[in-house]
A and B are shown apart, each in its own frame.
Chain A
Amino acid sequence: MGSSISKIPIRLLFIFEILSLSLIFMYRWDNLDFNTFATGIGLILLVYFSNSVLRRISSGDHYIFLIVSMMFSIGLIMIFRISSDLGVKQLLWLLIGIGVFFLSYFTIKKIDVWDKMITLYLGVAYGLFAMTFILGSRLRGAINWVNIGGVSFQPAEVTKIALIFFLAAYYFNLEKYSKNKYSEWIVMGIVYSYIGLLFLQRDLGTALIFFGIYTGLQYIYCSGRRYELANLSLAVLGGTLGYVLFDHVKVRVTTWINPWPYINDKGYQITQSLFAIAEGSYFGTGLGRGNPAFIPLSYNDFIFSSISEEMGVFTGIGIIMLFVLLVYRGFKIALLQNHKFYRIVALGISLMFGLQAFIIIGGAIKVIPLTGLTLPFISYGGSSIVSSFLALGILQGASEKVVKEDEYNE
């Protein structure tokens, strides 16, 4: 299987990396330092080794990791250009993330009882929420960071995966659970309790992802119009209530409809983002020639705008296409997977990547209201990178899970 994959994509990826790294070198010509060389060589080695190791050990899909390699290469180069310190840190996070990827890939393959641990997933999710509320600190208006031993991370990143496993375990065992005729309502209640808690944490972006994953999986696996209708009405009701009750929701909507009157305060982020994208035009100002530092969180939530400014909107569209490809591969993995549990997991993870990319890109270009999220694999940030690779490892595992005939469940 390993030899069946064409070498052309990875060679193209290297060409991209070499070209953009030489731009970085030119940009930093006057103060070339160890970090620049280390990051450049580190990135190329990381991509080379992780891809070739994966090709040898995994019989599953080889494209998802390649697509992700392209994504994190663009991200790392952009972050390094904005701040070389952050770039070096990001490279370390990528190293850890890829380690986590292989770890989660092996774990998902070795353990066979994933579909039987529904209570564990519930416990993990509520436990993480409790931890956030007890230990959490407020950052940029949202209480979603927890600091343990000097390392801070966002528990919600892991909760997303717990949600996917919870839903997969539920729909996999639907026959068993549906003996209780209220089971679907209970699941809905649990999911909405997550969403409500996220609203309280002011983490609207993640709440949207939770809603999207649930709605998508429910659409496929839940038979019963009334549940879907109930879900949609709850969403409308919740959205309206949120708008009326919470000022932070109102602000998002106001600045989405017209941010220009609030250019100096609450509309600042989105207008700076639009300036950057407008400045970049089709082909960008060139690496190092724009001013992405004018955008708040230019290396994080607004990395898409930074990339659009310096590499052009065509690169931005390229990134969107990469996410389309990633979601496509993920759905294809699901369609080829015989085991229903892993099928649902693959769908859930693909949905998660797709939705997250859509919500933050859509927010940054003002198609939808802005909610703070990271762009998976591209934005700077340890917990985002690590949890995205954790999910990708699961997807990789799901792409090759071969089930014994007697387990075949349909």
Chain B
Amino acid sequence: MNRESKRIITLFISLCAGFILLIGYLSYFQIFKAEAIRDNQYNKRLWIDEEQVLRGSIIDRDGEVLVYSQEKNSQVERIYKYDYLYSHIIGYSTREYGKSGLEKNFNSYLINANRNTAINEVINLINPVGVGNNLELTIQNDLQKKSRELLKGKKGSIIAMDPKTGEILSMISLPDFNVNTLKDNWGEISEDTNSPLINRGIQGLYTPGSTFKMVTALSSLKYHEDENIYNCEGTLEVDGYIFKDFNSTGHGSIGLKEAFSKSCNTYFASLSLELGHDRVKEMAESLFFNRRIPFDLDTSISRFPEREVGKTDVAASGIGQGRIVASPLNMLLITSAIANDGEMMKPYIVQRVISPQGRDVEVFGNEVLGNISSQVDISLMQEMMKDVINNGTGNNARIRNVQVAGKTGTAENASGKNHAWFVGFAPYDDPKVAVVVILEEEGSSGGSSAAPIARDIMIYALNNIKFRR
């Protein structure tokens, strides 16, 4: 073959390579990128579909309507009955600023369509749309209102859940925003340094402080490091860093149970040193640190340090300080699992998707995430948490006639003002409600400020909620 023919063939091959590049990129694009691009809020196709559909209603666990759509002058209107109450759970759906909350994550249910695919067209022939599916939540509207009242004027979050089923009964995060005037105040809301758009209950990450002692304690029970008696002198020096107890007063010679109920920092710091970084980390990770909690809304991942960087750090981890951060939902999940005899239930907020005709399209719930510890260890944990209420730092959460169990936390952080934590559940013998309260940069102890709020939530929930079981 002469030079000319050879070069002609080479040229042809390079042109083909160009075309193969196009085909390769098109395939790559469809497999890896198309979905995200399709869901881009600037894609007008999303709105074409939606504007033909009357978006479904959202109701609470007792059937109270929270959000609905109506047609007015041939225009679809979305009516949010509460300005603030559901700004984080239900969120918003606007053409300009996109969607959030359940409006975003359950969008395809609410508009009852997965776009104009051929299959959907056929389905639509049989079952004419125009109306989306409704959502029934696990939330109870009155408890939600009560939570917001209790938290008013503070920054932070309250979440209540049924530890045996994983139903989220209420979830409040403050500061929040008015969904009905969102379009007018978008600039103000999105630039607010207090970040009202963030759902602190599931997206906020806080130093857990002493509430993390639940994890350290579970780890020590697992590895039988719990029998030591330790002489607490109020301070403990590790590599030159001094760990102090509240008021620096010593607890004297104490065991795990008393150290837990008195929230003795020096005990848990030295316990963590004995256990070592890896064992505490192992327990933390089995409890969804460094892993995403599966949930109906977008959650942030709690962090436990990946690698050990010195003894001070390990000791700090044991008392929930240092580099650990946790989401309130995560601490609630751990509390619920302890309340539910070690079985951790998947938290959820949407109970059912109901078709406009009233048929169940999908029912959620009763999913188990795993067993966190042995029966014996869990019983001990439960007792220790009862002791926190009866003889320890959590006595502000005490309820007459109902035994409560819990743990307080007062987390030091960069702001200089402590976060006040409380996690707990009640009744002790047959837990129906578990609750987490976090008051961001409150500056006081968990026992004094968070525990009373938790108590009110638990009383209200036990008196007003129709539990499903």
Bound complex: CA A335 to CA B15 (Å): 16
Main secondary structure of the interface of B (DSSP, over half): helix
Q: Does B23 contact A (CB under 8 A)?
A: yes
B12 x A327 contact (CB < 8 A) = yes
Find out whether the CB atom of B44 lies under 8 angstroms from the CB atom of A294: yes
CB contacts under 8 Å to A, within B109-128, are 115-118, 121
Interface flag for B239 (CB, 8 Å):
no
Would you list which residues of chain B between 1 and 26 have a CB under 8 Å from chain A? 4-5, 7-12, 15-16, 18-19, 21-23, 25-26
Minimum Cβ distance to chain B for residue A88 (Å): 27
- Does A141 touch B at the CB level, under 8 Å? no
User: Is residue A289 within 8 Å, beta carbon to beta carbon, of the partner chain?
Assistant: yes
B357 contacts A by Cβ under 8 Å:
no
Interface hit among A109-117, A120-128, A234-242, A273-281: A273-281
Q: Is A291 an interface residue (CB 8 A)?
A: yes
Considering the complex, give the chain A residue whose CB is closest to the CB of B11: A216
Which chain A residues lie closer than 8 Å to B44 at the CB level?
275, 291, 294
Quick one: given A274-B37, A286-B118, A291-B45, are A327 and B15 in contact (CB under 8 Å)? yes
Q: Which of B27-35, B60-68, B380-388 contacts A (4 or more CB under 8 A)?
A: B27-35
- Say whether A220 contacts B40, CB under 8 Å: no
Residues of chain B within 8 A (CB-CB) of A323 are 19
The answer to whether A294 touches B45 (Cβ under 8 A) is yes
Any chain B CB within 8 A of the CB of A320? yes
Does the CB pair A275–B26 fall under 8 Å?
no
Query: Is A367 in contact with chain B by the CB < 8 A criterion?
Result: yes
**Within 8 Å CB of A29, what residues of B?**
none
Q: How large is the interface on A (under 10, 10 to 19, 20 to 34, 35 or more residues)?
A: 35 or more
What are the residues of chain B within 8 A of A275 when measuring CB–CB?
A: 37-38, 40, 42-45
Closest Cβ neighbor of A263 among chain B residues: B42
* Given the contacts A220-B11, A221-B4, A289 and B116 also touching, CB distance less than 8 Å: yes
Q: In the complex, which residue of chain B has the Cβ closest to the Cβ of A362?
A: B22
Alpha-carbon distance between A286 and B119 when the two chains are bound, in angstroms: 11
Please, what's the 1-or-0 string for B47-66, where 1 marks a CB less than 8 Å from any CB in chain A? 01000000000000000000
Residue A167 is within 8 A (CB to CB) of chain B in the complex: no
Asked if A271 contacts B22 (CB within 8 A), the reply is: no
Tell me, rounded to whole Å, the shortest Cβ–Cβ distance linking A289 to chain B: 5
- Chain B nearest CB from A19 CB (Å) reads 14
Chain A residues 255-313 with CB under 8 Å of chain B are 263-264, 271, 274-275, 277-279, 281-283, 285-286, 289-291, 294, 308, 313
Task: Choose from B25, B33, B48 the contact partner of A291 (Cβ within 8 Å).
Answer: B48
Instruction: Verify if A106 is at the interface (C-beta below 8 Å from B).
Output: no
Residues of B within 8 A of A219 (CB): 7, 10-11
**A118 in contact (CB, < 8 A):** no
Q: How far is the CB of B1 from chain A (nearest CB, A)?
A: 10
| A278 and B33 in contact, given A271-B42, A294-B45 (Cβ under 8 angstroms) | yes
Chain A residue numbers with a CB within 8 Å of B23 are: 317, 320
Verify if A146 is at the interface (C-beta below 8 Å from B): no
Q: Does A331 contact B (CB under 8 A)?
A: yes
| A285 to B25 alpha-carbon distance, docked (Å) | 20
Q: A358 and B19: CB pair below 8 A?
A: yes
By the criterion CB–CB under 8 Å, are B29 and A334 in contact? no
A365 within 8 A of B: yes
Residue of B8, B10, B16, B118 with highest tally of chain A CB at under 10 A: B8
- The verdict on A324 contacting chain B, using a C-beta distance below 8 Å, is yes
- Give the distance to chain A from B389, nearest Cβ to Cβ, in Å: 53
Whether A365 and B25, one on each chain, are in contact in the complex, defined by CB atoms closer than 8 angstroms, is yes
B22 with A358: CB separation less than 8 A? yes
Structural contact, A334 and B8, CB atoms closer than 8 A: yes
- Residue among B19, B23, B116 facing the most chain A CB atoms (10 A cut-off): B19
Q: Is A97 an interface position by the 8 A CB rule?
A: no
Given contacts A219-B7, A351-B15, contact A365 B45 (CB under 8 A): no
A323 to B4, CA, bound (A): 23
* Bound complex: CA A216 to CA B7 (Å): 9
Question: Could you write out 14 A-B pairs with CB less than 8 Å apart?
Answer: A220-B7, A275-B40, A277-B30, A278-B37, A285-B115, A289-B118, A291-B48, A313-B27, A320-B22, A321-B19, A324-B16, A354-B19, A362-B18, A362-B22
Query: Which 4 A-B pairs have CB atoms at the shortest separation, nearest pair first?
Result: A278-B34, A278-B37, A220-B7, A278-B38
6 new A-B contacts at CB < 8 Å, known A220-B7, A323-B19: A291-B44, A308-B26, A320-B19, A354-B18, A358-B19, A367-B22
